[in-house]
Amino acid sequence: MDRLIDKVALVTGGSRGIGRAIAERLGRDGAVVAVGYAQNEPAATEVVRRITTAGGRAFPVRTELGTHGDAAALWAAFDQGITGYAPDGGVDIIVNNAAIGRSSNLEALTEAEFDRVFAVNVRAPFFIVQQGLKRLRDNGRIVNVSSGVGRIAMPEISAYCATKGALDNFTLNLAKELGPRGITVNSVAPGIVDTDTNAGWLRGNPEAEAYAAGLAALGRIGRPEDIADVVAFLVSDDARWVTGRVIDATGGAAL
């Protein structure tokens, strides 16, 4: 409970799925957690409740990412929520997790869909970091939640894949830029994880479940906690010498 004591963490998309597991894990490790969400207020409130009930500290931050001015709006909401927890309004950990999880295939993809998936998955993290830099304390941590599709071809969702490739490249450059301040920047790349994003095609479909489990060398579908525990390591002091990397958390997919 004390690994992250005195630390403040922002987790975008912290209300559901992988982000929720990350928010709850960082809360258990002692951080004050800003739980980002877009629409689903009850889910965000529930995550805050679970963290505080367990003795942690958390508050919700509502912002629709992928819109112009989203980063400024997010930090304004953060500034409001952090009052009372950290008088200087500082942040130690930024986890860029929120994303649109899929995209149409090449033939069906529209320019509007392309713009939207890049706006949420790439532009938002970019400007959240840019505008967070003055708040981000030295020796801080940035974790970008990427995907195994940064290295594994999946042409049917190639626009989504391209956003994760772009995010990984942002990780690389940001690590170089922020290294002198002791700030580490890494991507975590999950494989198929049982979250709402995949519920429609995966849950309750034995064939799909067998397919998804078979992709991982470890032979099962990922759980949100599998990813959250890797993020918890990366934001801890134990990972102080790891930066600019994409940490594969696919259970060994496509080895």
CB of 251 to ligand NAP, least distance (A): 11
Listed residue (167, 124, 176) closest to 147, CA to CA: 167
The answer to whether residue 243 forms part of the interface with ligand NAP (CB under 6 A) is: no
CB of 181 to ligand NAP, least distance (A): 25
Residue reference for tokens 């071809």: 153
The answer to whether residue 158 forms part of the interface with ligand NAP (CB under 6 A) is: no
For ligand NAP, the binding residue among 23, 61, 71, 192 (CB under 6 A) is 192
Tokens of 108: 């069906």
Closer to ligand NAP by CB, 197 or 236: give it: 197
Q: What is the CA radius of gyration of the chain?
A: 17
The answer to whether residue 103 forms part of the interface with ligand NAP (CB under 6 A) is: no
For ligand NAP, the binding residue among 39, 42, 207, 255 (CB under 6 A) is 39
Q: What whole-number distance in Å separates Cα of residue 12 and Cα of residue 99?
A: 9
Tell me how crowded residue 153 is: count the other CB atoms within 10 A of its CB: 9
Return all residues near 60 (Cβ < 8 A) that are at least 6 apart.
Answer: 15, 34, 35, 36, 37, 41, 44, 45, 47, 48, 81
* Residues 162-181: x where in contact with ligand NAP by CB under 6 A, - otherwise, as a string: --------------------
The answer to whether residue 91 forms part of the interface with ligand NAP (CB under 6 A) is: no
Return all residues near 41 (Cβ < 8 A) that are at least 6 apart.
Answer: 60, 62
Specify the stretch interacting with ligand NAP by CB under 6 A; choose among 37-45, 84-92, 128-136, 240-248. Answer: 37-45
Residues 170 and 127: beta-carbon distance below 8 Å? no
Angle at CA of residue 131, ends 134 and 126, nearest 5°: 130
The answer to whether residue 64 forms part of the interface with ligand NAP (CB under 6 A) is: yes
**Residue in the shown chain whose Cβ atom is closest to ligand NAP:** 17
Q: Which residues of the shown chain bind ligand NAP in the complex (CB under 6 A)?
A: 13, 15-19, 36-40, 43, 63-66, 97-99, 101, 120, 145, 147, 190, 192-193, 195-198
